[in-house]
Amino acid sequence: MSEERLFTFRNRWFTVSVLGTIAIAVVSALIGFVWLPSVQRDASFTGIWNAICSAAGVPRNWYAGDTTVEPKMKLTSVEVTPQLLVNVSANSIGRGATLALRCTMCHGERGMSDANSPNLAGQYGSVIYKQLIDFQKGARTNAVMSPMAMNLSDQDMRDLAAYYASLPRPPAQRKVSDALAPAIVAHGAPMRNIAPCAACHGGIDNKAGSPWLDGLPAAYTKAQLVAFANGTRTNDINEVMRNVARNMTAEEIDAAAMYYARELNAGR
């Protein structure tokens, strides 16, 4: 029986096995912790150190005193539920009517705009309330609306929302069949992860926090879809509208905007 020891570097087979295992481990680490993360386009992977830390799941910057990181964008902080602003009082509506006098130049005397501002008559109260808070907090910005919302109290915003929601919603005089609605509105684009517009904005169903779109000026609707698509508007809950709009074509954006504008304007 051979007395030669197996686990010794004098044994060439043992030496080859150990060196081979080390080589495989090094190559695997370089591929998994350096090469694969570094070819990603995300900025968090930029640089070898960032790539290694991201792959290993450890922070790139360890705690160093009172280091605060400012978010790149402000997101909405409003929790929208189906019960939000459901039960409102007549006093709240009355106060809202008084506050709304300053809004008539853009949104019309009874919430129907003759400009390219959104119609607010009959709009869901939770939608108006959320947008006012977002304008006030900076989650949504506009040269006119941001200053207007800045000094409103929470009750003021609730009252305005209650007033506009109480106004009669003009009937949509559809002169075309619903079957002729653009495909993006009626069916969406499942292969691009786009749900039908009607699934959230009415027609099929309504999601809490989603606005009523019938009759909105086409220029306004198009501008908002473009803003969601390019990331200049970021106050949608869970990035729903940004994910939809960035996958829509320019033709689909135009078609949706024109469809919702025609539904009401055709009856005027």
Among 58-62, 88-92, 131-135, 178-182, whose mean pLDDT is lowest?
A: 58-62
Q: Which region holds residue 2: left if phi is over 0, alpha if psi is between -120 and 50, else beta?
A: beta
pTM of the model: 0.71
178-265 has the same fold as 90-166: yes
Choices 3.40.50.720, 3.40.50.740, 3.20.20.450, 1.10.760.10: CATH for 90-166: 1.10.760.10
Contact 208, 110 (CB under 8 A): no
* Residue owning tokens 């977002």: 134
For the ranges 9-13, 54-58, 232-236, 258-262, the maximum mean pLDDT occurs at 232-236
pLDDT tens digit sequence for 31-89: 777 776 666 655 555 666 666 666 666 665 654 444 555 556 788 888 888 889 888 99
E strands, the chain, in order? none
Contact 49, 91 (CB under 8 A): no
Contact 75, 234 (CB under 8 A): yes
> For residue 82, which amino acid is it?
P
Domain 178-265: assigned CATH number = 1.10.760.10
Token couple for 175: 């002169």
With a cut of 80, say whether residue 19 has pLDDT above it.
yes
Q: How many CA atoms lie within 13 A of 85 on its CB side?
A: 28
Q: Which of 173, 196, 187 is nearest to 261 (CA)?
A: 173
pLDDT tens digit sequence for 189-228: 999 999 999 999 987 888 888 999 998 999 999 999 999 9
Q: What is the per-residue pLDDT for 89? A: 94
Q: Give domain limits for the chain.
A: 1-69, 90-166, 178-265
Token couple for 110: 């009874």
> For residue 95, which amino acid is it?
R
Token couple for 166: 């109480």
